[in-house]
């Protein structure tokens, strides 16, 4: 009796192992077949997002590969190391793309990327992910409204500190009635990002590019929006 | 396999035992992704493929797997199939993958899949099991399409928005604007809208069933009364 029970358990265990081995083999095969197209489409997606805010004329290098590592900073609103993309024209630094977080949106953090020319002018801003109310605060998405393009070409020079607020608070930036917390958070975070860039510009462009290993660990820009 | 069997399987999956409005299984994806037709149909079809494949894969081995180990083995097979599909979508339909991302691994935990395996594939041959999975999946897809359509029209005033994620940029012109200059209706897009519309769909299904039943009863009464007359 005991013997047949032991036999049954061994059979069950072997059975389970057999299917686990087959399953693992299948997964390994699929991974092997798809990991290249996956890496390629992820790269393309990043490039699409980055090239939306970086004009093609502003760089001639492989901007997605030319990355720098930024330590967490209050001005960037993050507490993790992030990746910045660097555009160069004729081997001269021309533009940088930073990943920034506006921590005080209406429903939590708003993640966005910002392109800043070497002279401190904004090339463009795009929201990457947010949880703002659909239909109210989501006009910061380019798909819903072109409000976000209002940041283009602004800089610390052409907008003094008190301008970096929404018009309702006496600043220079538009907002929409019914949702002022969202644009307030965005304006504040963009202002801080410009300050960060002004302070760290030279070291950002001087840093040697990351190895692809580090990049995988850190994770670059990925949009969660359509 | 007889034609009658074939018909029964599809009648069950699409109508009589519909996973979305009769069995009420897999509510999480139903409510979460049905904010537009494209999202709903895409996840529905992905589930249908998983169900058909897992039915086909599990039915032939149903006699080999010992009873005690069947749940882990079934789940293992379903998980492998889902992950394969996830890899494939990530590689070849990236933008759609971004939208449906977190819901694809959740197909594994969707009780519809394991429920059909337990109820059908572990007792029937491979072909029937695959067809049963497919029919159940199509039934779910149909519910998700209707639900997504209603929510999209009320929420955004459009139909088929986001179709370019599946068929590429050229498909952008396929989007139908049902109500021009629509300002949007938040409730329909948020989860409560999903509950309300699903409730209405279930009510409609029950009403249709009752009506059909009454018709049958009426004909029987007529037949009986004409006989006695």
Per cent of chain B over pLDDT 90 is: 30
Q: How far apart are CA B41 and CA A51, in angstroms?
A: 31
Dist CA B154 CA B179 (whole Å): 9
> Out of B66, B80, B90, whose CB is closest to A26?
B80
Asked if B102 is an interface residue toward chain A (Cβ–Cβ < 8 A), one would say no
**Taking CB atoms and an 8 Å limit, are A15 and B65 in contact across chains?**
yes
Residues of chain B contacting A44 with CB distance shorter than 8 Å: 94
Find the mean pLDDT for residues B49-62. 91
Q: How far is B80 from chain A (nearest CA, A)?
A: 6
| Mutation for testing the B interface, residue in A10, A30, A43, A45 having most B CBs under 10 Å | A30
Inter-residue contact B143 to B129 (CB < 8 Å): no
A41 vs B contacts (CB less than 8 Å):
90-91, 94
Q: Give backbone dihedrals phi and psi of A93, rounded to 5 degrees, phi first.
A: -55, 130
| Helix/strand/coil for B50 | helix
What pLDDT, in 10s, does the model give residues B85-142? Answer: 888 888 888 777 876 766 788 788 778 888 889 899 888 999 999 999 999 999 999 9
Q: Which residue of B has its CA nearest to A8?
A: B66
Closest CA in chain B for residue A36:
B91
Q: Is B60 on the interface with A (CB under 8 A)?
A: no
**Whole-model pTM above 0.80?**
no
Phi, psi values for residue A15, rounded to 5°: -60, -50
Structure tokens at B186: 């938040």
- Chain A residues interacting with chain B (CB cutoff of 8 angstroms): 8, 11-12, 15-16, 19-20, 23, 26-27, 30-31, 33-34, 37-38, 41-42, 44-45, 133-136, 222-224, 226
Residue to mutate among A37, A40, A138, A145, with most B CBs inside 10 A, is: A37
Partner residue facing B88 (CB), from A16, A34, A44: A34
Q: Which two tokens stand for residue A83?
A: 């990746």
Q: What value, to the nearest 5°, has the Cα angle with vertex B54 and ends B50 and B60?
A: 160
Element (H, E) at B23: none
Q: Do the Cβ atoms of B87 and A19 come within 8 Å? A: no
Alpha-carbon torsion angle B82, B98, B34, B153, nearest 10: -150
Name the minimum distance, in Å, from the CA of A134 to any CA of chain B: 7
Print the SS3 string covering B136-189.
HHHHHHHHHHHHHHHHHHHHHCEECCCCHHHHCHHHHHHCEECCCCCCCCHHHH
C-alpha A120/C-alpha A143 separation (Å) is 26
CA angle B159, B160, B161 (to 5 degrees): 95
Q: What is the ipTM of this complex?
A: 0.72
- DSSP for residue B103: G
List chain A pLDDT tens, one digit each, 226 residues.
Answer: 567 888 888 888 999 999 999 999 999 999 999 988 888 887 787 778 888 889 888 899 888 888 888 889 999 998 888 889 999 998 899 999 999 999 999 988 999 999 999 999 999 999 988 888 777 788 898 878 899 999 999 999 999 999 999 999 999 999 988 788 999 999 999 999 999 999 999 988 988 776 555 555 556 666 656 4
Residues of B in contact with A134 (CB under 8 A): 184, 186, 189-190
**Nearest-neighbour CA in chain B from A213: distance (Å):** 21
Label each residue of A124-152 as H, E or C. Answer: EEEEEECCCCCCCHHHHCCCCCCHHHHHC
Tell me the shortest Cα–Cα distance from B20 to chain A, in angstroms.
Answer: 26
Contact partners, residue A77, CB within 8 Å, separation at least 6: A100, A101, A102, A103, A109, A189, A192
A187's CB contacts (< 8 A; 6+ apart) are A164, A165, A166, A171, A173
């Amino acid at each position: 009796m005991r013997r047949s029970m032991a036999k049954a358990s061994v059979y069950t265990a072997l059975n389970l192992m057999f299917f686990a081995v087959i399953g693992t083999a299948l997964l390994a095969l699929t991974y092997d077949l798809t990991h290249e197209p996956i890496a390629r489409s992820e790269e393309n997606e990043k490039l699409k997002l980055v090239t939306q805010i970086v004009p093609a004329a502003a760089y001639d290098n492989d901007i997605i590969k030319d990355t720098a590592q930024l330590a967490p900073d209050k001005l960037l609103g993050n507490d993790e190391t992030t990746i910045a993309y660097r555009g160069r024209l004729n081997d001269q630094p021309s533009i940088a793309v930073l990943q920034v977080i506006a921590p005080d949106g209406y429903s939590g953090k708003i993640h966005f990327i910002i392109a800043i020319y070497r002279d401190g002018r904004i090339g463009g801003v795009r929201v990457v992910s947010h949880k703002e109310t659909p239909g109210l605060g989501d006009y910061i998405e380019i798909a819903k409204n072109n409000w976000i393009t209002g940041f283009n070409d602004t800089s610390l020079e052409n907008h003094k500190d008190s301008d970096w607020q929404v018009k309702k608070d006496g600043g220079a930036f538009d907002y929409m009635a019914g949702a002022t917390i969202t644009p307030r958070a965005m304006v504040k975070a963009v202002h801080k990002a410009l300050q960060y860039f002004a302070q760290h510009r030279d070291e950002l462009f001087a840093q040697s590019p990351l190895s692809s290993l580090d990049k995988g660990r850190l994770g670059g820009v990925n949009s969660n929006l359509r | 396999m007889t034609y009658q069997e074939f018909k029964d399987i599809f009648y069950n999956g699409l109508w009589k035992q519909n996973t979305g409005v009769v069995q009420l299984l897999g509510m999480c994806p139903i409510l979460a992704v049905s904010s537009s037709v494209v999202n709903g149909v895409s996840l529905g079809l992905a589930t249908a493929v998983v169900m058909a494949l897992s039915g086909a894969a599990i039915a032939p081995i149903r006699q080999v797997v010992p009873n005690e180990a069947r749940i882990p083995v079934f789940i293992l097979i379903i998980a492998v199939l889902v992950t394969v599909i996830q890899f494939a979508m990530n590689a070849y339909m990236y933008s759609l993958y971004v939208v449906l991302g977190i819901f694809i691994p959740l197909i594994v935990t969707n009780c519809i899949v394991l429920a059909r395996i337990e109820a059908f594939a572990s007792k029937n041959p491979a072909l029937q099991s695959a067809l049963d999975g497919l029919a159940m999946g199509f039934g779910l897809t149909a519910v998700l399409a209707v639900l997504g359509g209603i929510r999209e029209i009320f929420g955004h005033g459009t139909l088929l928005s986001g179709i370019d994620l599946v068929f590429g940029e050229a498909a952008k012109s396929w989007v139908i604007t049902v109500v021009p200059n629509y300002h949007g209706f938040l409730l329909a897009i948020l989860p409560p809208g999903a509950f309300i519309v699903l409730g209405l769909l279930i009510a409609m299904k029950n009403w249709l069933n009752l009506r059909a039943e009454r018709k049958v009863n009426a004909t029987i009464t007529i037949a009986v009364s004409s006989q006695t007359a």
